[in-house]
Amino acid sequence: MSLKEKIVDERLPQHIAIIMDGNGRWAKKHGKERYEGHYEGVETVRKIVEASAELGIKFLTLYAFSTENWRRPKEEVDALMHLFVETIQQELPTLNKNGIRLRAIGDIASMPQQNIDKLNETMAKTENNSKMDLILALSYSGRWEILDAVKKIVADQKKNLISAEDIDEKLFSTYLNTAGIPDPELLIRTSGELRISNYLLWQIAYTELYITPKLWPEFDKEDLYEAILDFQSRERRFGMTSDQIKR
Ligand code: IPE
Ligand code: IPE
Ligand code: MG
């Protein structure tokens, strides 16, 4: 039986979040420039998006650029920004063919205007697709998102739209960029770092973590299937006892 066939449809995560890490190390390993690693990483994005949609995953959130990534050398940031525009543009037909809706989370306004325009255009042109949502985290960090939510809550409170007593987890979630999107059940990080790097801090409170040493450009469909199978082998207790879960 292939890995893919072993996946139990009824226990498929609805939402998978990925920290796509290791492009730079992949480039170094192959005697290439860092930007070449990012280009190679786009190939993996294509494969993983396709495989996820094929499996029936409903939401796939990819960490493409963090708030902290602005601190990288200007040439690398410029190359990444260029790569985003180019890729988003190129992928439009494939997104539509596969019923994939493009969305974005993060401080999008901080990106170059060309990126904002392309992103808005592609999001509008894929808006009616409903097989899977592909959510790009761009200029994103969990702390930025939480602070952004707090500012909006304070503004609404000042307008008397909400009061302090109304604020619970459910309401707070509606002020996040991910409003309406279920929390990811599975978070995959490639290239072995044992950290979260400011990703989806609120949303991953009870997410299952899967960290693989594979570098992002080396990660393939089989690796995705393996991560999902690992997830399916776990007992998610949410603070309860094993007996309570089985009942
Ligand atoms: C991930 O790969 C891509 C981005 C952060 C944009 P890296 O560029 O972080 O690769 P490493 O960690 O240096 O290998
Ligand atoms: C996390 O990777 C951000 C993205 C994958 C976009 P980094 O390579 O920036 O994370 P650190 O610096 O190793 O924590
Ligand atoms: Mg990295």
Task: Count other Cβ atoms within 10 Å, centred on residue 53.
Answer: 19
- Structure pTM? 0.98
Question: Side chain identity at 223, as an amino acid letter?
Answer: D
Whole-number average pLDDT of the chain: 98
User: What is the sign, positive or negative, of the torsion defined by CA atoms of 171, 172, 175, 181?
Assistant: negative
Domains annotated for the chain, with CATH where assigned, are 11-246 (3.40.1180.10)
> What is the mean predicted confidence (pLDDT) over 54-73?
98
Distance (Å, rounded) from C-alpha 58 to C-alpha 75? 35
pLDDT in tens, 86-130: 999 999 999 999 999 999 999 999 999 999 999 999 999 999 999
User: Ligand 1 in contact with 25 (CB < 6 A)?
Assistant: yes
Name the closest ligand to CA 106: 2
* 79-107 exposure pattern, b = at least 16 Cβ within 10 A, e = fewer: bbbebbbebbeebeeebbebebbbbbbbb
Q: What is the pLDDT of residue 246?
A: 86
Ligand 3 centroid to residue 22 C-alpha, Å? 5
pLDDT for 47: 98
